Amino acid sequence: MNTARLHIDLQRFRRNLETVRQALGPCELGFVVKDDAYGHGLAPLVSTADKEGVRWYGALDAETGAQVRETVGAHTRILVWLLTGPDDIAHAMAADLDLGIGSLELLDEVAAAGGTPHVHLKVDTGLHRNGFLLSQWADACARAADYERRGVLRVVGLWSHIAEASSEKDDQARGEFERASAIARAAGLTPGIRHLAASAAALARPEFRYDMARVGAFCYGIRSAGEPALPDIEPIATLEAPVIAVEDTRVTVGIGALDGLTSRARNLLPVSTVDGQRMIRDVGEVTTDIEPWPHARVGQFVSLWGRRAAWTATDLADALGTVGEEVVLRVAPGLARTYE
């Protein structure tokens, strides 16, 4: 293919999955695939993970969850946690998704939906990104237990989301999660799956693992901002573009800001060429100019960031004051994805 592309190394993806799963030990991996698998393309990644034996997926919304279900069939559990009302709940239930629930209103709607959906009650442990407040938690558990007795839902999970920004805040959140778990037990709930951590806390701190960890970034090889790379976790994606014009003073490649290359990469990002690294000189809407190299030819490819490039997405993100996910998600959905 002779156009710019985000190239994904599925072999490297399998190795990351293996590294993450070994590190988690008996704790289950819930592979997080929101935002089209962080821009990598949902179906190829989910079917690869499925072949590797990954049995839990975190999908954010019903639409994404239904796509995962279409890709993997009936033998997996798929958790969604952004539900917006009865239609959305019906959509999720039709795809046999597990429902992350953090408000009484949604709990009532789920109970009224018909069937016996699997519910994961979410407690807010300080991040304030929905979830029951601890002050409502006892009521929420009592109501959920009542619904369970009536057979209109099953509470299979308890969970929360933490900032992973400071150990102290995370410890505090974990303390609240423990209190919430005790309250749930006292209400008669017996959820088999507790989950709290995402990539950073799950890999670094065993006590945050519980029964499942919801890991996105590290599976894609996106390291945390300002942190060193973990052993045997590497980026799986490379942003690549073809040379489309060669002049004495510059080489032009067929990728630009409209494809998701930030114009702030100018004079910042060293690009990998067949002759080593060259600096970006200008980012236009659809083309980018790079310092020339000897024997540059139309059709050669350069790597801008990622696996086969000088910088990873997070290297660029660190220089821009953002996070690696943001750099990857900026890649235009319309840009080609290739897999090998």
Ligand X SMILES: *Cc1c(COP(=O)(O)O)cnc(C)c1O
* Residues lying near ligand X in the complex (CB under 6 A): 32, 34, 58, 161, 198-199, 214-217
Q: For ligand X, which residue has the nearest CB?
A: 216
What is the rounded CA–CA span in Å between residue 229 and residue 233? 7
CB nearer to ligand X: give 60 or 145: 60
**Inter-CA distances, 218 with 15, 120, 199, 285, Å:** 11, 24, 6, 31
In the numeric block, the tokens 């020339």 are attached to 292
Cα separations in angstroms, 315 against 206, 221, 242, 301? 27, 12, 22, 21
CB of 335 to ligand X, least distance (A): 21
Backbone φ, ψ for residue 303 (5° rounding):
-110, 125
The separation between the first and the last C-alpha atoms of the chain, rounded to the nearest angstrom, is 13
Q: Which is nearer to ligand X, 58 or 270 (CB)?
A: 58
Cβ nearer to ligand X, comparing 212 with 255: 212
Shortest separation between residue 188's beta carbon and ligand X, angstroms: 26
Least distance from C-beta 255 to ligand X, angstroms?
25
Give least dist CB 79 to ligand X, A: 9
Q: Cβ 233 to ligand X, closest distance in Å? A: 12
Contact 59, 68 (CB under 8 A): yes
Least distance CB 200 / ligand X (angstroms) = 6
CB nearer ligand X, residue 217 or residue 257: 217
As measured in angstroms, the least distance from the Cβ of 73 to ligand X is 23
Cα–Cα distance, 190 to 186 (Å, whole number): 9
Measured distance CA(181)–CA(175) in Å, rounded: 10
Distance in angstroms (rounded) separating the CA atoms of residues 289 and 296: 13
Please identify, using beta-carbon distances, which residue of 199 and 273 lies nearer to ligand X: 199
Judged by CB, which is closer to ligand X: 217, or 269? 217
- Cβ atoms of 277 and 268 closer than 8 Å: no
Nearest residue (CB) to ligand X, 224 versus 288:
224
Type of residue at 47: S
Buried b (16+ CB within 10 A) or exposed e, 271-288: bbbeeebbebbebeeebb
Say how far apart CA 145 and CA 241 lie, in whole Å.
55
